[in-house]
Structure 1
Amino acid sequence: MGTSRKALRTTAVGAVSATLIAGSALGLAPAAQASGAVRFVDIAGDGGTVLKANVATPQGADGTRRYPLVVLPTSWGLPQVEYLTQAQRLADSGYVVVAYNVRGFWQSGGEIEVAGPPDIADASKVIDWALANTPSDSRHIGMAGVSYGAGISLLAAAHDKRIKAVASLSGWSDLIGSIYSGRTQHLQAAALLDGAATLTGRESPEVRQVFNDFYASNLAKEQELIAWGKKRSPATYLDQLNRNGAAIMLANAWGDTIFPVNGYADFYEKLKVPKRVELRPGDHATAELPGLFGLPNDVWGDTQRWLDHYLKGVDNGIDREQPVQLKSRSTDGYEGYPDWKSVAATSRKIDLAGTTTIHANVDSGADGGVIFLSSILDQVARVPPIASIPLLPRRWAAVWQSQKSATAQRIRGTVRLHTTVTGTKESGTLVAYLYDVGPLGLGKLVSNAPYTWYGQTPGQPFGVDLELFSTAYDVPAGHRLALVVDTVDPLYIEHNPSGAQLTFSSPTDDPSYVSVPLREQ
């Protein structure tokens, strides 16, 4: 059943409240710490649209020398003071820094375009302004940003050859693949973005229509939606990024409920420029948040090291480190790998034998959690969403469990599900969950992902191949792995007609399984 408009609005209001609290804090705390070297300016963006910005320059800059330039577009829904602390730190170490409020938000003019062509053009206009009005060096230009600013930075680097280095923090590579993976609307993610835009900015008519069609599951507009998102996806411009040659650092969190890490991993592998990817516990932008308040922070520390090396030529060793840096959700410390395919040395295949039928339209109790809250708990206290696997109602949840493992299993990368489904209706949604199950039957969520289909013949089996969201999680010795599949999760819009049933089978010639990527012990 599609989710009602009233429910969508309720979800949006609840989700946005957290965003506004964070935005207010970010707007006040860094500002109180900033020194007097920051000045606030207006910059004419694309078409003359006024962009509110602030500029930080090195102490003692008198126009007799040039400094590397770093441009910071703001995050979705946050004001221009978001980066004041980090901007000042960069300026103190010898950069000119221009942070600007993207069009459509707060005091900047224009309408929200969701990283569309005007936003890309704005980034170049900001660079033009900085070169004309600050002691910036045109040969050493970088961009960085969190979330929305991360995506705009990557897109700008694909379109402006002057940009030599990028740090994309909690951004995206494939916009539609992020919030519409498995042809399933990520409801809470979209509601948060939409609500924040409504309360802190001005959506363009096109963007408003996109949200409306997205919520309404308007299949007649699906290809139009995909094309709209493709235009706003850095992955679309891989050839241009590789040709322009900017050094690209990507950072994200395993539990990012807005931009899951799967897209970054694939995008990283296809980049042919100096590159680095860092993945840590947390949710969307939570890994970067302490650094915005001036606290010690790995993400911002590595961002400055990246910019120092590729804009200032500092020999700090970052180019000689393993470029894939992962931090498990279960342990402290980082693991380095030469590339993404080396993250998982082997895999464990768990057979999903037998035939199981479940009824749709009811939440079984297996869920991916609540946007932000669940992944933050996992980040801070290592408490992911939990379900009692023995107590899950088999009427609404299909459950398969592995044997106990004699040794610890270090899951690294992307879990893959292959199964055969027979539905009683032509459309439907399933959500798959992988759990770490302890001796008492309590399952800790390792990963999940949704999958939606349309136009299937009722009673006719069809194959499903689904990638769960990539992760790094250590399963203790003596524990089992459990795969659970149900049809309802508050994170997503589900498309099961009333009374639908789903049967999972494992034909002899096409057995069902879940493949779990493992690091060597």
Structure 2
Amino acid sequence: MNKPWIGGIAALALLVASASAVAGAFSKTYERIPGWDGAPMGALVLVPQGQGSGPFPLIVMPASWSLPNLEYLGRATQLASDGYVVVSYTSRGFWDSAGQIDIAGADTVEDVSAVIDWALAHTPANPNAIGASGISYGAGISLLAAERDPRIKAVAALSGWADLEASLYSNRTVSQQGVGLLVGAGALTGRPGPDLAQISTRVAVGDYDGAVQGFLPQAASRSPASDVAALNARGTAVLLGNAFNDGLFPPNQTIAFFNQLRGPKQLLLSQGDHATAELPGALGLPNEVYTATTRWFDRHLKQLRNGVDSEAPVRLSPRAGQWLEYADWASVQQGNTRLGLSAPSGLLSPTGGLIGSTASGWQSRIATDVPTLADSGVVLVSGLLQGIGVPVTTSIPLVNRTGAAVWVGAPSNTLRRLAGSPSLRVTVVPSQSKVSLFAYLYRMDALGVAQLITHAPYSLRGATPGRAVTLDWPLQAAAAEIPAGQRLVLVIDTQDVRYTDASDGGGTVTFTSPAATPSVLNVPLR
């Protein structure tokens, strides 16, 4: 990054910080903090002034992928005015920070500890009250750093990942839109290291599967789920926040990580897409997720008895301003409704039922690689719209039954709420060794207009053509209301523009329901 860029970011940071001061006084400076290897990191440092002699709790905030340290400026000013030392810095390899982008590798993670070292030496930070927080890339880095640095007592990780393989290669399927977005943004705003350079080379020729598959051997070392035992051993307090429709790091992998944590923990899942739920809060605007984050640090760094200990560990938001509270994730999933998939029937638009019992002995066939109107939408855009009440919508009667299997439930007698992770068990017989399947769960009105609730991909690679395979297929967690008179609809097809497609044209997939393993949809309905 050249010097004019560095100077511009520094000047803008100080200008915005000056305009954003709120209650308590604080100083703000732009610093070049040495990373673990001496590579300078561009940082905005805010220190309380006139709020006592300290020491003050410290919060280190690594910036998101492709964003500079200005990202958290609004929230940082509020934290500093409330008695926190805050260091918001640009992650290694981006903008005004030196080095190369290593995709949350050892260098990037060690930089967090180096920033802590610098803050303890140059600010009145309390060495016994240190937190780490970030959005997206900064969230994953914060968790990885907390696993390696015992000085970090509390973490707030928002829209981050816990398991990179489960995020980038969900059910052996690549989100080409998500990977393309990350690669393009990295090239525009930073200096790719060897791993990202190899990924970029493959993406440039359209080989998204090869790009991700080539990185998978490195994924575990960059995944907080690989060393959750370190957090548990120290009792690190961890708050996790994600969006139901996160197109980069979907919620189920975060939920699995949350379930493994044994120390103080909270999980907040809200409507929206990647980072859209909390980004307004980072800018300093009123925000429920960041309010919870600040209270989390007040409790675990300032040791304030502010009621956090008695709050429900799991909170789900079906719409803005409404939160459903649960003691744990098992309570969310308790009382699943089991719906059997019955035989699709009808000449022009064969449709099966979602019934209260199981049905076996039937078969229904679709063609592979045939476009249909069932779709998950566009990464970031569709989830953002869903978060403001405009979900992905389609017409079920117009879904092409040549390329999609459809099952429709009975009308709901009353308002019902779906909260949790639906799961599908279905037996398929592919005619090809490779096929991608996409399952969509909708709520449909009397006119056949359906709004997407959740979805998930599943790719078979190396299957034996003609041999039945029973899939246990979790859909991503969701929270939605099913008004009286509306129906649940399950659609499965073999093509979605968000994802790569392992299928070739000219093949078929036969759905069936053996008596020993009947095809069923489990839905957390109340």
TM-score by length of 2: 0.90
**Aligned partner letter, 1:170:** S
Corresponding position of 1:201: 190
Contact 2:179 2:208 in 1 (8 A): no
Q: CA deviation at 1:37?
A: 2.2
Structure 1 residues 205-237: Cα deviation after superposition (integer angstroms, max 9, x where no partner): 222224555762666984x63331111111001
Q: CA deviation at 1:414?
A: 0.8
**Correspondence for 1:373 among 362, 369, 381:** 381
Contact 1:359 1:395 in 2 (8 A): yes
Corresponding position of 1:499: 506
- Alignment gaps of 5+ in structure 1: 1-22
Distance verdict in 2 for CA 1:262–1:99, change over 3 Å = same
Distance verdict in 2 for CA 1:27–1:478, change over 3 Å = farther
**Correspondence for 2:298 among 301, 305, 308:** 308
Contact 1:31 1:81 in 2 (8 A): no
- CA distance in structure 2 between the aligned counterparts of 1:249 and 1:126, rounded to whole angstroms: 21
**Correspondence for 1:383 among 383, 386, 390:** 390
Contact 1:213 1:221 in 2 (8 A): no
**Aligned partner letter, 2:302:** K
- CA distance in structure 1 between the aligned counterparts of 2:479 and 2:16, rounded to whole angstroms: 32
Corresponding position of 1:59: 49
- CA distance in structure 2 between the aligned counterparts of 1:246 and 1:235, rounded to whole angstroms: 14
Contact 1:146 1:285 in 2 (8 A): yes
1:263-274 to 2 correspondences below 5 Å: 263-274=253-264
Structure 1 residues 133-152: Cα deviation after superposition (integer angstroms, max 9, x where no partner): 11111011111111111110
Corresponding position of 2:248: 258
1:207-218 to 2 correspondences below 5 Å: 207-212=196-201, 216=207
Corresponding position of 1:143: 132
1:322-471 to 2 correspondences below 5 Å: 322-329=312-319, 332-354=321-343, 355-380=363-388, 382-471=389-478
Contact 1:68 1:96 in 2 (8 A): yes
Q: CA deviation at 1:246?
A: 1.4
**Aligned partner letter, 2:267:** V
Structure 1 residues 368-391: Cα deviation after superposition (integer angstroms, max 9, x where no partner): 0111111111111x1211111111
Corresponding position of 1:511: 518
2:97 corresponds to 1:108: yes
**Aligned partner letter, 2:40:** V
Q: Secondary structure at the match of 1:369?
A: coil
- CA distance in structure 2 between the aligned counterparts of 1:417 and 1:134, rounded to whole angstroms: 53
Q: CA deviation at 1:268?
A: 0.8
Q: Secondary structure at the match of 1:237?
A: helix
- CA distance in structure 1 between the aligned counterparts of 2:135 and 2:211, rounded to whole angstroms: 33
Q: CA deviation at 1:256?
A: 0.8
Q: CA deviation at 1:112?
A: 0.4
Structure 1 residues 170-205: Cα deviation after superposition (integer angstroms, max 9, x where no partner): 111111101210100011111111111010001112
Q: CA deviation at 1:357?
A: 1.0
**Aligned partner letter, 1:188:** Q
- CA distance in structure 1 between the aligned counterparts of 2:146 and 2:430, rounded to whole angstroms: 46
Structure 1 residues 93-139: Cα deviation after superposition (integer angstroms, max 9, x where no partner): 11111111110000110000111111111000000000011111101
Q: CA deviation at 1:342?
A: 0.5
Distance verdict in 2 for CA 1:140–1:79, change over 3 Å = same
2:162 corresponds to 1:162: no
**Aligned partner letter, 2:174:** Q
TM-score by length of 1: 0.91
- Alignment gaps of 5+ in structure 2: 1-8, 344-362
**Aligned partner letter, 1:115:** A
Percent identity, aligned pairs only, is 44
Structure 1 residues 56-112: Cα deviation after superposition (integer angstroms, max 9, x where no partner): 0112368x4311111000011111111111111111111111111110000110000
- CA distance in structure 2 between the aligned counterparts of 1:217 and 1:235, rounded to whole angstroms: 24
Distance verdict in 2 for CA 1:261–1:121, change over 3 Å = same
Aligned residues between the structures: 491
Corresponding position of 1:226: 216
Distance verdict in 2 for CA 1:113–1:514, change over 3 Å = same
Q: CA deviation at 1:359?
A: 1.1
2:34 corresponds to 1:34: no
- CA distance in structure 2 between the aligned counterparts of 1:221 and 1:335, rounded to whole angstroms: 36
Distance verdict in 2 for CA 1:493–1:27, change over 3 Å = farther
Q: Which moved more, 1:27-36 or 1:446-455?
A: 27-36
2:101 corresponds to 1:123: no
**Aligned partner letter, 2:109:** I
Q: CA deviation at 1:306?
A: 0.6
